[in-house]
Amino acid sequence: MTLRLGDIAPDFEQDSSIGPLKFHEWAGNSWVVLFSHPADFTPVCTTELGLTAKLKPEFDKRNVKAIALSVDGAESHLQWIKDIEDTQKTVVGFPIVADADKKVAALYDMIHPNQSETVTVRSLFVIDPNKKVRLIITYPLTTGRNFDEVLRVIDALQLTDGYTVATPGNWRDGDDVIIPLSIKDEEVIKQKYPKGYTAARPYLRVTPQPNK
């Protein structure tokens, strides 16, 4: 199955490090970061899960829940969590799905045969409270993910959901934003963007972030 942006994230029921888990029910009304890793007790994954654990305060501020996945079993996850917490000096406060039968990996197209026939690549999905897939990033097995970028995109998604704006390249929370080309009427612009705007070109109109 190939997921695309805007698709409903497939629901599933699977074992996990916190016991049996029904994904949509567990997600509730939160945003979700679902990310797969190749295997337990591997070095890159250990650093990634440790970093995710340390980012919990940032996720909480954004109403985000994190959930990891590999094709190892729940008992393996529980043993590995001890290593993560010891070596990364943190507490793993999120579940790790035990996808031993690769059911979820198939639903989310997490196994790429040209990378590996047996383990999941580093896929990451941002899913909104309506269960829609809003971001898909896939990294190769040997490259650790940039979770600062994940937070940046969540900030952009939440901003653009609340306001009629787009974000420029390398945008971070607090930076200026872009008025979409779909907004043409000057009176509407004055109402929507009371801080005014500058235009380097007619199609490139920049305005201060509206909620700052």
pLDDT tens digits, residue range 13-39? Answer: 999 999 999 999 999 999 999 999 888
CA–CA separation, 17 and 67 (whole Å): 10
Q: Where are the domains of the chain?
A: 13-144, 163-207
For residue 104, give both structure tokens. Answer: 């979820």
Contacts of 73 (CB under 8 A, 6+ apart): 15, 98, 100
- From 21, 32, 45, 49, active-site residue: 45
pTM of the model: 0.92
Active site residue 134: no
Tell me which fold the domain 13-144 belongs to: Glutaredoxin (3.40.30)
User: Which pLDDT tens digit goes with each residue over 160-211?
Assistant: 999 999 999 999 999 999 999 999 989 999 999 999 999 999 999 999 999 9
